[in-house]
Amino acid sequence: MEFTGAFGTIRISTRRANPFTYDLLNFSEFSSDPPVEMARLATDVEEVEETFKAVGQDLSCRQTEGGSFHCKTATSRIGEIGAIWQRCDKSVSIQAEAPLGYVYLTIPISLSGFGKFNGESYTDRKLLVYQPGTQFDLSGSGLTGGDVLVLPENRFQEIAEALFPDTISLERDGSRMIQRDRESVYRVRRLIQNLIADPTTHQDVEHISAVIAEIISWVADSSHPGVGERLTGNKARGLIARRARDILEDKYCDSISAEEICRELGVSLRTFNRSFRDYFNITPIQYLKNLRLDKVHRNLASGAASTQSVTELALRNGFTHLGRFSVAYRAHFGESPRDTLDGVSERKN
């Protein structure tokens, strides 16, 4: 499946026929998302508390439904960013406080559709935001769980100000719920899960940037609806787009984040994406991928790369995931990188 996120279009895979619902699943199916292979199974709430304590979160968890208890939790740390995936088979109630210095961003799931966040009902289309030091109460009914991203507060504000320069600082008002459409929530949920499940993603700055920028754009929308949407006409749009193109052309060999480009351009995330797409009729991330593919293809087709392997060329031109590179190359050029090399050899002979 493809979706448009903070930096353009990203392709992800899905397992369910209907990816936007968990209807009529048992616990095994409910907890079969990608991180399950590295998940730790807890059979009582004390083990759940210990798992969260290991990642710096003290909480009080209570089982509020009778029967044997099972809860799967997987965690990961990518530099200064934490990610948590959890699925439980019984109703639970959680009392906690977001640690000082960190912002918690949670997308909850309650299969029954009944959950409470600080006394207010939530659905699977909500983002829950806990500011540092915020106390919160969270409960879910039946099969329940959530996907969580944990950011240092200073990093959260730094990215927010880079992506939304019209807003000096996102408001600190404790905790809040933010409503989004189901598809938007699902794609970010999958991105968080992929950060945990796929070790190679940990090195993908662009992927991580897409997750963070997408979520922060929701928070910005809830604080300042329409922030960053203003443009001053076609001339300004063209200038922004061309400057962005120059940045991509100059730095395509390295990992490039939306935050970095917005900061260099001095515009918001929406202004950057919209200007680029309107001017070039392509998203920034697709432009960047095509640019990298073109560079590799030119090297292979010229015959000048005979002393370098395809892997070396891909890495040198900004690709960090070799499997995805091979798929993208074949889709773009109708042949594999090896086919391109073989064609050069045949022409020489």
Q: What is the pLDDT of residues 207-262, one digit of tens each?
A: 777 788 888 888 777 765 544 444 345 667 888 888 898 999 899 888 888 888 88
CB 137 within 8 A of CB 130: no
State the CB neighbour count (10 A cutoff) for residue 62. 11
Per residue in 186-196, pLDDT tens?
A: 888 888 888 88
Q: For 31-106, where are the alpha helices, taking DSSP H only?
A: 45-53
What is the average per-residue pLDDT within 176-181?
84
| Residue 203, pLDDT score | 55
Q: Is the pLDDT of residue 15 over 50?
A: no
Q: Please compute Rg for the chain using Cα positions.
A: 22
Confidence of residue 8 (pLDDT cuts 50, 70, 90): very low
Confidence of residue 72 (pLDDT cuts 50, 70, 90): very high
Max Cα separation, the chain? 75
Confidence of residue 14 (pLDDT cuts 50, 70, 90): very low
Taking all residues of the chain, what is their mean pLDDT, rounded to a whole number?
77
Per residue in 101-123, pLDDT tens?
A: 888 889 988 877 778 887 778 87
| Residue 86, pLDDT score | 92
Q: Is the pLDDT of residue 171 over 80?
A: no
What is the average per-residue pLDDT within 278-296?
86
Tracing tokens 């001339």 back to the chain, one arrives at 235
| Residue 271, pLDDT score | 86
- State what percent of residues in the chain have pLDDT above 90: 3
Give, in order, the Cα–Cα distances in Å from 269 to each of 144, 192, 216, 235: 33, 20, 10, 18
Q: Is the pLDDT of residue 297 over 80?
A: yes
Q: Is the pLDDT of residue 6 over 60?
A: no
Torsion of CA 58, 63, 67, 70, to 10 degrees: -30
DSSP 94-133: EEEEPPTTEEEEEEEEETTS-EEETTEEE-TTEEEEE-TT
- When mean pLDDT is compared across 125-134, 157-166, 226-235, 271-280, the lowest value belongs to 226-235
30 membership: H or E segment, kind and range: helix 27-30
Spatial separation of the C-alpha atoms in residues 38 and 344, rounded to whole Å: 44
Q: Is the pLDDT of residue 163 over 70?
A: yes
Confidence of residue 25 (pLDDT cuts 50, 70, 90): low
Q: Which of 237, 226, 229, 232 is nearest to 275 (CA)?
A: 237
Q: Is the pLDDT of residue 146 over 70?
A: yes
Number of H helices, E strands in the chain: 12, 14
